[in-house]
Structure 1
C-alpha cells in the first residue's frame, strides 16, 4: 500500500506571502466568476431537506425550460440560485456528459468563492455540476434540531445516490472542500469501493486528522481570534434559531460564551449527532484512519502552509491506498490557491481538479 505523492507547486504570486494571507485573500479578495444556478430541494429520509444548486450546458437559470423568462424568484433572493428546477430541465441535463457533485466546507454555500470558481470552470468545460448545500447552509433553516457535521458519510452517500438517479448516464465524480472533503473521504474509506458508480473523487484542503485541526483552530491565537470568531458569527445565530424552534435542544446560556470551535462542538455538534464530546467527535469522524481502505481514484490536495491543517497531520505515502494521489504543494493556504498577476484569480484549483479527473495525474 503506497499512495502517490505530488509536491509540485501551486504558483502562488510573490505579492501574496504566507498561509494566512493566501487563505484570507482567496476567501475575500481574489477575483472569481459569478455563476447563477437552478435549485432543487431534496427531501431526506428523516423528514428534512437538502438543497442542490445545478448548472450545466444548456441549463439557463434566467429562463424556464419552455423558453419563458424567469425572474429571480423571491424565495431565492440572497442565494446563488435564480429559480427552482422544473421537470423539463432534467431533459437538458440528461445524457452522458461528465458530472461533478460538489460539497462545501464549514458554513459554506454555492456562493463561496471556491464553489463559484470550480462550478464555473467545470460548466465551461462541458460538465454538469450539482453544488450541494448541507443542512441549514442554503439560506433557509432546515427542519430539524440537528444540522450537519464532518463525519456524516451517510448524508454524502444519500446525495450521491440521488444525483446518480437524476443522471443515470453521466460519468459521476465528486469533490469536497474542507469539512465536505472529510465527510466524502470517510464515505469512500467505509465503502471500500466506488459508491453508486463514482468514477473518481477529490478532497480539497481536507482536515483529515480532525483532532489536530480542531486544536489548531481552538488553541492558537490565529485560530481563536480570526478563524473561530468568523465561523462562530454565523453558527451562533443558527444555534439561537434552533433553540427557539426546539426548546431544550441547546444550552443557550453557554452559547454566548463560545470562543472556539471546540466549545461549539462540545455544546452542539457532538451531543446533537451522537458523540460524547468534541474529542470523541473529532476522533470518530476523522477520515485519516480510513484512507488505506479507499478503492476509488482520489486526489487529496492540501497545501503544507494551510493554517487550518497542521503539516504534521498530513498523510504520507504509506498512510493511504494505492488509488490515492496526495498533492501537497508548499503554498496555497486553506481553499485559497490564488495565482496570477494582481488581483489574482482562483482558476488554478478547478484546473488542478479537472486534470486529475481527466488524466488521473
Structure 2
C-alpha cells in the first residue's frame, strides 16, 4: 500500500453496513439545532456567495454568551453538489467545530444559499476562484487565527484542486480535509449512471435543472438548449455537456471532467491534507486511487471498507452518530497546536 494510504478506523453500526444505507441514513437522523448569521460576500465579477457563520454550538438552544477572540481558530466548510447549511454533514461538522471553540463558517457556492446568484454561470467541481477569494478575505479579517478548510464531495474535489494549485504557502491554511471527493469526475459520472446509483443522479439533476429552468424563464442563457430540452437531460454526462461546460468555458463534458478532476494533482499537494474515503462509495469506482500517481508526502488518505458517500454512521455512546464529525474534530485538535500565523512569521524573520 502506498505510504500515503492508511486503513481508516471507521466501523459502521451493526446492521447498517450497506453502502446505500450509510449514504442515506444521515438524512433520517435527528439534526442538531444550529444558529447562524448570513453574510453576503460580493465577488470581483459582480456575483456573490453567501457565508453562513455558526453562532451556537448545536447542543445549546441559545447563542454564545462569550464572543470569540479575533485569533480563535477558523473552520471553513465547502459543501457538496446542491448542498447547503441544511445538509446533515454540514450541521454535524460545523457544530463539532463550534463545540471545540472554533469559529465555523460555510461558503455556499453560487446559487446554493437563500437567494439565486446574479450571473448566468453557477458553480462546478473545479471552480476554485470563489473559494480562493473567500479564504483571502478571511485571512485579511483574521490574520492571527489558525485556519483549516474542509470540503465535502464536490467541495472536496474543489478544495484539493485549490491547495494543489496554490502550493504550500499560497493559502492561509494550516491544513485541508477532503471527504468523499469525486477525484475522477468522468468515472463518477459513469458510476452514477448505473444501477441504484442512478437514483442519486436523478435527485441531484432535478435540483440542478430546476435552477437552470428558473434562469431560462428570466432570459436567455449562453447554452444551446431550451427549457424542454433541459428536461430531457437524464445523466451527468448529458447535463455537463449541454449546461455546465458552455456556462463555464469548457468545450465539452469530457473537457470539464479532465480539467477539473483533482485526482491527477494529488502528487503536487504541499499543504498538510487529510482525505477520508470509503471503498464502497456509490458515487465512484472502487479502484479510484489506483488511477492516480503516488500522492505527495503531505497527503494522508484514510480508506474504509464501508461508509458509503458522506455517510460514515457509527454506533457510539448508545446512539447512532457521525464518525466524520468525530474524526474531523480529532484532526482540528491536532492542527490547533500548530504555531499561529504571526508566530510563524516571527520565526521566519528571526531565521533571516
Q: 1:24-70, CA deviations, whole angstroms, 9 ceiling, x for partnerless residues?
A: 112x212331212111110000000100001257999977x9x9xxx
Q: Is the 8 A contact 2:37 2:55 kept in 1?
A: no
Q: Find the counterpart in structure 2 of residue 222 from structure 1.
A: 196
Alignment CA distance shift 1:19-1:344 (3 Å): farther
Q: Summarize deviations over 1:53-110 as a string: whole Å, max 9, x none.
A: 01257999977x9x9xxxxxxxxxxxxxxxxxxxxxxx94442221111000000001
CA contact (8 A) 1:182 1:207 kept: yes
Per-residue CA deviation, residues 308-357 of structure 1 (Å, 9 max, x unaligned), is 02121125896211010000011111011111169953431121112223
The 1:61–1:145 alpha-carbon spacing in structure 2 relative to 1, beyond 3 Å, is farther
Alignment match of 1:231 (pick from 204, 210, 217): 204
- What SS class does the counterpart of residue 89 from structure 2 fall into? helix
Task: Answer yes or no: is 1:278 the counterpart of 2:253.
Answer: yes
- Residue deviations 1:273-311 (CA, integer Å, cap 9, x gap): 111111111111000111111110000111111100212
Q: Which runs of 5+ in 2 are unaligned?
A: 336-352
Are 2:11 and 1:38 equivalent residues in the alignment?
Answer: no
How many correspondences in the alignment? 331
Name 1:302's counterpart in structure 2. Answer: 277
Inter-partner Cα distance in structure 2 for 1:207 and 1:343: 32
The alpha-carbon deviation at position 120 of structure 1 amounts to: 0.6
**Could you tell me how far 1:268 is from its partner in structure 2?**
0.8
* Structure 2 match to 1:73: none
Structure scoring higher RCO (CA < 8 A, sep ≥ 6) equals: 1
Candidates 114, 120, 129, aligned match of 2:95: 120
Q: Give the secondary-structure state (helix, strand or coil) at the position aligned to 1:100.
A: strand
Change (3 A) 1:23 1:97: same
Q: Displaced runs of 4+ in structure 1, greater than 4 A?
A: 56-63, 315-318, 341-344
TM-score (norm 2): 0.88
Q: 2:20 matched to 1:20? A: yes
Match of 1:312 in 2: 287
Is residue 40–residue 51 contact of structure 1 (8 Å, CA) maintained in 2? Answer: yes
Q: Answer with 324-333 or 151-160: which moved more.
A: 151-160
For 2:182 and 2:195, how far apart are their aligned partners in 1?
19
Which shows bigger deviation, 191-200 or 115-124?
191-200
Distance 1:61 1:346 in 2: 20
Question: How many angstroms apart in 1 are the aligned matches of 2:152 and 2:321?
Answer: 14
Cα root mean square deviation, aligned? 2.5
Segment drifting more, 34-43 vs 93-102: 93-102
Q: Please give the residue correspondences for 1:48-127 in structure 2 after superposition, counting only pairs within 5 Å.
A: 48-56=47-55, 92-127=67-102
Show the counterpart of 2:216.
243
* 1: CA distance, partners of 2:161 / 2:84: 21
Secondary structure of residue in 2 paired with 1:46? coil
In the alignment, what sits opposite 2:137? 162
Please tell me whether residue 322 in structure 1 is matched to residue 321 in structure 2: no
Whether contact under 8 Å (1:38, 1:61) holds in the other structure is no
